Amino acid sequence: MPLMEPYRVKVVEPIPILTRAEREAAMVRAAYNPFSLRADEVTIDLLSDSGTGALSAAQQAAGMRGDETYAGARSFFRFRDTVSELTGYPHIMPVHQGRAAERILFGAVLKPGQLSVSNTHFDTTRANVILSGGVAVDLPCPEAADLDNAYPFKGDIDLAALAAKLDGPDDVGIVVMTITNNGGGGQPVSMANLTAVAKLCREHQVPFFLDAARFAENAWLVIQREPGYADHTPQQVARLAFDLADGAVASLKKDAIAHMGGFLALREEGLAKHCEAILIATEGFRTYGGLAGRDLEMLAEGLREVVEPDYLRARAAATAHLAELVKAAGVSVVEPPGIHALYLNAGRLLPHIPPSEFPGHALATELYLAGGIRCAELGSLYLGEEDENGVLVKPAPYELVRLAIPRRVYTQSHLEYVAETIAEVAKNPERVPGYRVVEAPALLRHFNCRVEPIR
């Protein structure tokens, strides 16, 4: 089926086109760290799909209706009603972004030493569990460990392992299912798995929450891949998922196609009262939670647009198209491709570069030098463990590069340019050098480190 974006362009923004020499100079200035590039040095930016989407005309118009009243703004009620209709939860709190909802929820629910168990915690989710005195445990399903396995729901949690944890000696304070599983390759979670998790949590009286940043993309993949859902709308599937849980946290920088925002949504009144107090102390009054009225309006409109089948179909087709082109060029990707990002298997493409010389980072850097494409590694630079001398003692399980696809921003021809650039690099992979770290902070070093190629 031909891929066609179900929208036309109304406002344009030029993208910088640089020469190879200019890109080389930019990389030297950035100490070979894509995070240190400036936007005007980047031709196609695939660093993140978070807050990078394009607003619709309807969202912009909604923004103009923004009611900036301190308490009880009309915009809050439009936002609340939209989220409540979507999720079925009665208590809706806006927050400035997803991690604020995580902090408030874990702070209210977790007691020191308690476990938060997940299919895979997103980085900020894990950090907020730890900051709340909890312990984050990931139990991805066994199929997720094999990058080439085309199992349709590699975002599922390992149900046997979850049951064992709930029956075991540890004190499980919460179960969080991330839909789709961002940390696990953007893979979807099946309704069957969510249903089984809900049942286990009910039996053990443990709260069950969704991290719903990509609830619409998960719903779309359920419709495509899970028997029994083909005739459902994305909204219906999303609602069935929310119905199973006690509440949800969400970053609305993803599936609300907006630049900033999030929510904490709860079923239970007592917990809501507690969370509301923290919300007011740290984010803002309960009717704005750190957001402007115009943000609340644009979020409500984005939440309606993101569940439109034509939009989701085109977005899924775009990622699938990119995956086909990349694979035709001989580059392996994490199978099966999801929607919000494509993950390249850099370890397989660059076998001459050992994990200690960061094949994922090497490929990401090369894609910038070759075509001005910015993306990030998910490999040993980010996830590896080192000793006090900076020697890699535990490599990441895989050396990947993530190409995140912003929503409604790039066209098919942009993605074909990305595929051509990857194909160009893949023709002579042995020319790609490894990298060594020159200077790195102790925490989250991939954001700030300075590295250099090993010639």
Ligand X SMILES: *Cc1c(COP(=O)(O)O)cnc(C)c1O
* Residue (of 75, 2, 15, 70) closest to 406 by Cα position: 15
End-to-end CA distance of the chain, in Å? 45
Tell whether residue 446 is a contact of ligand X (CB under 6 A): no
Give yes or no for a contact between 178 and 227, defined as CB atoms under 8 angstroms apart. Answer: no
Binding-site member from 75, 87, 97, 319 for ligand X (CB under 6 A): 97
Residue span binding ligand X (CB under 6 A) among the ranges 28-36, 117-125, 373-381, 429-437? 117-125
Residue span binding ligand X (CB under 6 A) among the ranges 92-100, 142-150, 349-357, 447-455? 92-100
Question: Would residue 123 show up in a list of annotated catalytic residues for this protein?
Answer: yes
Tell whether residue 33 is a contact of ligand X (CB under 6 A): no
- Rounded to the nearest whole angstrom, what is the least distance from the CB of residue 45 to ligand X in the complex? 16
Return all residues near 375 (Cβ < 8 A) that are at least 6 apart.
Answer: 34, 46, 47, 364, 367, 401, 402, 403, 404
Return all residues near 109 (Cβ < 8 A) that are at least 6 apart.
Answer: 173, 174, 207, 271
Please, which residue, 212 or 307, has the CB nearer to ligand X? 212
Report 153-182 residues binding ligand X (CB under 6 A): 178, 182
Tell whether residue 235 is a contact of ligand X (CB under 6 A): no
Question: Would residue 96 show up in a list of annotated catalytic residues for this protein?
Answer: no
CB atoms within 10 A of CB 433: 17
* Residue (of 415, 383, 216) closest to 307 by Cα position: 216
Angstrom distance (rounded) from CA 288 to CA 75: 9
Binding-site member from 30, 37, 45, 50 for ligand X (CB under 6 A): 50
Task: From residue 342, give the alpha-carbon distance in Å to each of 49, 97, 211, 395, 451.
Answer: 11, 24, 20, 22, 25
Question: Would residue 446 show up in a list of annotated catalytic residues for this protein?
Answer: yes
Question: Would residue 211 show up in a list of annotated catalytic residues for this protein?
Answer: yes
Tell whether residue 98 is a contact of ligand X (CB under 6 A): yes
Residue span binding ligand X (CB under 6 A) among the ranges 15-23, 226-234, 246-254, 325-333? 246-254
Give yes or no for a contact between 325 and 336, defined as CB atoms under 8 angstroms apart. Answer: no
Please, which residue, 176 or 425, has the CB nearer to ligand X? 176
- Residues in binding contact with ligand X, number by CB under 6 A: 15
Residue span binding ligand X (CB under 6 A) among the ranges 29-37, 95-103, 143-151, 383-391? 95-103
Q: At residue 213, what are phi and psi to the nearest 5 degrees?
A: -55, -35
- Rounded to the nearest whole angstrom, what is the least distance from the CB of residue 124 to ligand X in the complex? 5
Residue span binding ligand X (CB under 6 A) among the ranges 9-17, 93-101, 290-298, 361-369? 93-101
Tell whether residue 120 is a contact of ligand X (CB under 6 A): no
Binding-site member from 60, 84, 124, 224 for ligand X (CB under 6 A): 124
Angstrom distance (rounded) from CA 179 to CA 160: 19
Q: At residue 176, what are phi and psi to the nearest 5 degrees?
A: -120, 120
Angstrom distance (rounded) from CA 80 to CA 69: 15
Please, which residue, 348 or 408, has the CB nearer to ligand X? 408
Question: Would residue 122 show up in a list of annotated catalytic residues for this protein?
Answer: yes
**Total count of residues recorded for the chain:** 455
Q: Which residue reads 């954001």 in tokens?
A: 447
Tell whether residue 213 is a contact of ligand X (CB under 6 A): yes
* Residue (of 311, 329, 263, 325) closest to 407 by Cα position: 311
- Rounded to the nearest whole angstrom, what is the least distance from the CB of residue 49 to ligand X in the complex? 8
Angstrom distance (rounded) from CA 201 to CA 264: 20
Query: Catalytic one among 35, 57, 111, 123?
Result: 123
Tell whether residue 119 is a contact of ligand X (CB under 6 A): no
Tell whether residue 247 is a contact of ligand X (CB under 6 A): no
* Residue (of 50, 43, 49, 48) closest to 368 by Cα position: 43
Tell whether residue 245 is a contact of ligand X (CB under 6 A): no
Tell whether residue 99 is a contact of ligand X (CB under 6 A): yes
Please, which residue, 275 or 419, has the CB nearer to ligand X? 275
State whether the Cα torsion 250-253-256-261 is positive or negative.
Answer: positive
Q: Which residue reads 């775009």 in tokens?
A: 318
Q: DSSP class of residue 409?
A: T
- Rounded to the nearest whole angstrom, what is the least distance from the CB of residue 160 to ligand X in the complex? 24
Residue span binding ligand X (CB under 6 A) among the ranges 97-105, 184-192, 369-377, 393-401? 97-105
Query: Catalytic one among 96, 254, 340, 414?
Result: 254
Active site residues: 70, 122-123, 211, 213, 254, 446
Which stretches of the chain bind ligand X, using CB under 6 A? 50, 97-99, 122, 124-125, 178, 182, 211, 213, 251, 253-254, 262
